Structure 1
Amino acid sequence: MGAMEFEPDTGLTNDDLKPTMRDQRTLTGWEMASLWVGIVIGVPNYYLAGSLVELGMSWWEGMLTVTLGNLIILFPLLSTGHAGAEYGIPYPVFVRASFGVRGAHIATVIRGLVACGWFGIETWIGGQAILLLVPDSLKPASLSRTISWLDASLLQLAFFFLFWILQVVVIWKGMDGVRRLQKYSAPILIILAILLLVWAYVRAGGFGSMLSTESTLTPSEFWRLFFPCLTACVGTWSTMALSIPDFTRFARSQGDQALGQAIGMPLSSAAYAFIGLAVTSSTQVIFGETISNPILLLPMISTSVPIILISIVGITLAVLTTNVAANVVAPANAIVNLNPARFGFRGGALVTAVIGILFQPWRLYGSSETYVDTWLVGCSALLGPVAGIVVVDYWVLRRGVLDVGALYSMNPVSPYWYFRGFNLAAIAAMVVPVLVVIPGFLYEVGILNSVPAVLVGIYDVAWFITFFSAGALYWILSSLWGRTKMAQVHDPLLLNSSP
């Protein structure tokens, strides 16, 4: 007996949420890899790698930490990316299978809010990088004074908004503009990253001097630092581990999305991490101090006008390629999913950009400790349980089979209707692990003066705790409350369908 056909509900679909057609699935493996190169080569990823040296690790300890984190997060990236390439559906639609057609809003809003915060941080980075490269003679002193209640100067805010406007112009061109930006920027960013490494090599007198900075940590101090830093490395890409279907839905085949990700993400991230670690280590030799923030480093490299202009172009491309792809597409689709009849991709992206301002990113982007321990680890605690639930639902319970028509239906007999559109098993499995890590987070940000050491340890590995515990709890609850209904047929537009 064939599967029931479901009529699409207007409240669940529009042109941006519909499955991609065959002629839209043109993303090659190389283009997928280029997407990752553009996302990886950015200031936050350099800063994360450099921060490991600033926090006391040697370059090879930092390299080990970053590489291991990348290999771990590659698993959920490929797991969720499969659904996008197989069914042509974006993340907000994919997550309806596990959370329900209405409950999916919870998962998409969480992912979207984190991305909005990231959008603000990246925009702040881009604006401040260009501001630092502008000669001091062109900066009015009256506008450079920090406003105490705002914790920023008018000049800083002006460059922040200028960079914000530049990104909105790119966003307004839609997904085609995003894909073209990634494709053509990747080679330029690779060249500029190599030039930065060459500069450090020449100034420091070779790799021997560049990599001579040794660890300042005792074995026990290293392990206390290693686990939260590993979690931060995983947390950096925990957003993309959820929303990668937004891109793989345009892949030409499963092979293209899998190979493009398997090559583009870990290799480019490892190579760029090495540059960040090596250059940061070399600053101790060159300047006598460790400088992990590339924004502060660039003005110290040269005052030559051509070099300044190249640096501005490099920073602009690095921020744009990372921000537009990683931090706009997902929240824009989440907003579209909230009200498909009112919002399209452009409207959702514009709302994302506005929310990014409200996050006041100049307060979020602070010291290495704040950036790693509070922002990255904290975000991973929110996103880990969603990833665990989605992976278990798609691969363990459903064996990779979805009823695409039912994902767009409010019919009560749909396998994704659950309880009035909400999968209570998924919601419970998400909330419980997050509650466990909250005390450690509150201690980290200074709200609680003391908590049991075990809770601090749990927070240090928040993504791992929430990912695995939420996945296991979801599987148990789904088994106790009745096995999740299985889809029976593939959609006729699937890549693996018969013609």
Structure 2
Amino acid sequence: MATINESYDTKGIAIEHSSSLDESLYPKSEKDRTVKPRDYIFMWIGDGVNLGNMTLGASVMVAGVATLNIFQTILAALIAIGIISTIFALNDRLGYKEGIPYVVQLRMSFGIKGTVISSLLRGIPAIVWYGIQSWIGGTALNEIAKIVTNGSFDNIVVCFIALQLLQIVLSLFGFHAIKWVETVASVVFMAALVYVFGILMSSHTAEITQNLVQAKGSWGLPFFGLIMVFLGNYAGIFVSAADYSRELETGVRDKKRRSLYFIPITISYGFVIIIGAMLAAATGVTNPAQALPIVIDNPYISVGVSAFIVVAVIATNMVANIVPPAYVITLLTKLKYKVSVTITGLLALVAFPWVLIQESSATGLNMFILIYSAFLGPVISILLVEYFILRKQRVDTADLYNEEGPFAGYNPAGLLAMFIGAAAAFVEVELAWIIGVVVAGTTYYLLSKYAFKNSSFKKGTIFES
């Protein structure tokens, strides 16, 4: 039996606990993994059914002009969903098998010290997204306040701060504590979206047809750029897939886990993106929390829809935007998890989301996604090459926690490949994600094979001497 200073990996090997790591970063035991497949599906539906994704759909409208038509938007979403689900199913495997979080997974490719850089590339975008989602939720909360007070109260900033403080309190309990919020939010908000879709089709057909269906659009760079934006939107989540799969109960086969991503992402992400595009085409407003009351035009229903927008925002942040950066802060500062989630919430307050989402255009949000995905594309590529090609899915978990073992220090091959991939991605920012993935993955394989011949990071790989 393990002592208070030890845990076991899946092979029954004791892992000695270091005082430099918080307990939350050690492998999850089987008894601590309580999320069932059904809850996992609702978790990802709850994450996909959010106003941030709707805003991405709305981004095809810029100042009332569509950059893509409805058919191009749908196809771009389907291609992105297929890629997202595949990468999720591949990158979740190590976290699921060994129960380790993303910041520990990074050690095998970047080293214990090198993980500082690569983990920040995941944590910072998540904090900004936390602010973006909360700003949209604050806008919805403000819509409720305006209706309830008959227009005497109208202050988005106050609502934004109030919602953020509420989320900080909820995050102290972890996303396990609000599984019911995920389930209720996903089911009810999907029902609300079906209602909105019906209104758009019955009352705004002319505007949607003129502005979106009949738009010329483009099959060139704007089309592929939108796919990259969709992928970039999820890049931060699937790169840290281990943070979620380590919570899923054991005994779920790889094939079934793939469906736990593909089904909810297709249902929620695809539908929400199309609704966002239609909503912007009908109203000319890209912030859905402001556009929805315009098309509903019923104060009582608007209050209900806005309330569920707020709930959906909370559910999304709990899943996607709080846990990963909190783990990063815990790793870097040695603070306890609850302190880290509080700091995460406070940082999101000053993320300036109002700059990225404006009433007439969400192009600032798109550019933010493309820029950070230029770095996250290389990270996910390096992790997949490492695990599936170089290590053939065999990793000594105890070594990942041994600060004097083969993963100590920096892995120059991983860091060089990441920066080379990111530099290449900036040659064409609108295609940043795919360029970064291809260049970084290829570079990492070649550097691992031909360079740094005495590197301890070759231990356990196909290039070990």
TM surpasses 0.5: yes
> Deviation of residue 5 (structure 1)?
6.8
Offset at residue 7 of structure 1 (A): 5.3
Say whether 1:461 aligns with 2:425: no
| Matched residue SS, 2:213 | coil
Q: Counterpart of 1:471? A: 441
Q: What residue number does 2:89 align with?
A: 78
Aligned partners of 2:229 and 2:354: how far apart in 1? 20
Q: Is the 8 A contact 1:116 1:356 kept in 2?
A: yes
Alignment of 1:225-236 (within 5 A): 225-236=222-233
Q: Which amino acid aligns with 2:295?
A: I
* Poorly superposed stretches of 4+, deviation over 6 Å: 3-6
Query: Which residue does the alignment assign to 2:372?
Result: 379
Other-structure match for 2:195: 195
Distance 2:45 2:258 in 1: 15
CA distance in 1, matches of 2:347, 2:415: 25
The one-character-per-residue Cα deviations of 1:250-292 (angstroms, maximum 9, x if unpaired) are 22224453221122223322232233334444x1xxxxx5344
Deviations 1:310-329 (A, max 9, x none): 02212111211112211111
- The yes-or-no answer on 1:98 pairing with 2:86 is no
Partner of 2:363: 370
Per-residue CA deviations over 1:436-486 (Å, capped at 9, x if unaligned) read 344xxxxxxxxxxxxxxxx3xx21100111111111111111112237211
What is aligned with 1:55? 66
1:416 to 399, 402, 407: 407
Structure 1 residue 12 displacement after superposition? 4.8
Post-superposition offset of 1:368 = 3.3
- What is the distance in 2 between the residues matched to 1:422 and 1:4? 28
What CA distance in whole angstroms lies between the structure 2 residues aligned with 1:94 and 1:254?
A: 20
Cα distance in structure 2, aligned partners of 1:472 and 1:185: 41
| 1:369 Cα deviation after fit | 5.3
Residue 43 of structure 1 corresponds to 51
- Among 276, 286, 294, the residue aligned to 2:288: 294
CA distance in 2, matches of 1:487, 1:193: 48
- TM-score, length of structure 1 as denominator length: 0.81
Matched, 1:134 2:145: yes
Instruction: Report the equivalent of 1:216.
Output: 215
CA RMSD of aligned residues (A): 2.6
The more displaced of 321-330 and 259-268 is 259-268
Q: Alpha-carbon deviation of 1:11?
A: 4.4
Secondary structure, in 3 states, of the residue corresponding to 1:461?
Answer: helix
Name the count of aligned residue pairs: 439
Change (3 A) 1:33 1:323: same
| Deviation digits for residues 133-176 of structure 1 (CA, Å, limit 9, x no counterpart) | 433765569xx7xxxxxxxxxx3321110111121122121232
Partner of 2:265 in structure 1?
265
Q: Measure how far apart 1:9 and its partner are.
A: 4.8
Measure, in 2, the Cα distance between the counterparts of 1:95 and 1:46. Answer: 31
Q: Secondary structure at the match of 2:247?
A: coil
Residue 6 of structure 2 corresponds to which residue in structure 1?
Answer: none
Aligned-partner residue type, residue 384 of structure 1: G
**Offset of 1:28 from its aligned partner?**
2.7
Instruction: Tell me which of 128, 131, 140 is aligned to 1:117.
Output: 128
Match of 1:484 among 454, 458, 461: 458
Partner of 1:390: 383
C-alpha distance after superposition, 1:348-391 (max 9, x if no partner): 11111111122222122235352354112112112111111111
Q: For residue 328 of structure 2, what is the amino acid of its counterpart?
A: A
Q: Which runs of 5+ in 2 are unaligned?
A: 1-10
- Quote how far apart the aligned CAs of 1:106 are: 1.4
Query: For 1:274 and 1:460, how far apart are their aligned partners in 2?
Result: 21
CA contact (8 A) 1:32 1:264 kept: no
Distance 1:5 1:33 in 2: 32
Residue matched to 2:275? 275
What's 2:170 paired with? 170
Maintained 8 Å contact 1:398/1:486: yes
- Ranges in structure 1 where 5+ consecutive residues have no aligned partner: 145-154, 284-288, 439-454, 489-499
2:421 counterpart (433, 442, 454): 433
How high is the sequence identity, in percent, across the aligned residues?
A: 23
Q: Which moved more, 1:365-374 or 1:317-326?
A: 365-374
Q: Partner amino acid for 2:138?
A: G
| 1:348 matched residue in structure 2 | 340
Q: Distance in 1 between matches of 2:276 and 2:293?
A: 16
- Does the 8 Å contact 1:67/1:270 carry over to 2? yes
Partner of 2:32: 24
Contact persistence 2:143–2:306 (CA under 8 A): no
Displacement after TM superposition at 1:199 (Å): 2.0
What do residues 69-117 of structure 1 show as CA deviations (whole Å, max 9, x unaligned)?
Answer: 1212223211111111111111111111111122112111110011011
Letter paired with 1:96: R
Confirm whether residue 238 of structure 1 aligns to residue 235 of structure 2.
Answer: yes
Q: Which residue of 2 aligns with 1:33?
A: 41
The answer to whether structure 1 residue 107 and structure 2 residue 118 are counterparts is yes
Report the Cα distance in structure 1 between the residues aligned to 2:357 and 2:331, rounded to whole angstroms: 29
* SS state at 2:202 partner: helix
Deviates more, 1:268-277 or 1:402-411: 268-277
In structure 2, relative to structure 1, the CA distance for the partners of 1:260 and 1:211 (3 Å cut) is farther
State how far apart, in whole Å, the 1-side matches of 2:322 and 2:215 are. Answer: 39
Query: Separation in 2 of the partners of 1:14 and 1:196?
Result: 45
CA distance in 2, matches of 1:375, 1:396: 31
- AA in 1 matched with 2:354: W
Separation (CA, whole Å) in 1 of partners of 2:419 and 2:307: 43
Q: What is the letter of the counterpart of residue 433 of structure 2?
A: W
**Letter of the structure 2 residue corresponding to residue 185 of structure 1:** A
Q: Contact conserved, 1:66 with 1:230, CA < 8 A, in 2?
A: yes
Task: Report the equivalent of 2:306.
Answer: 312
Cα distance in structure 2, aligned partners of 1:262 and 1:162: 34
Native 8 Å contact 2:175 2:318 kept in 1: no
Between the aligned partners of 1:34 and 1:12, the Cα distance in structure 2 is 35
Separation in 2 of the partners of 1:274 and 1:364?
Answer: 20
Deviates more, 1:250-259 or 1:117-126: 250-259
Give the TM-score taking structure 2 as reference length: 0.87
SS at match of 2:458: coil
- How far apart in 2 are the matches of 1:18 and 1:376? 31
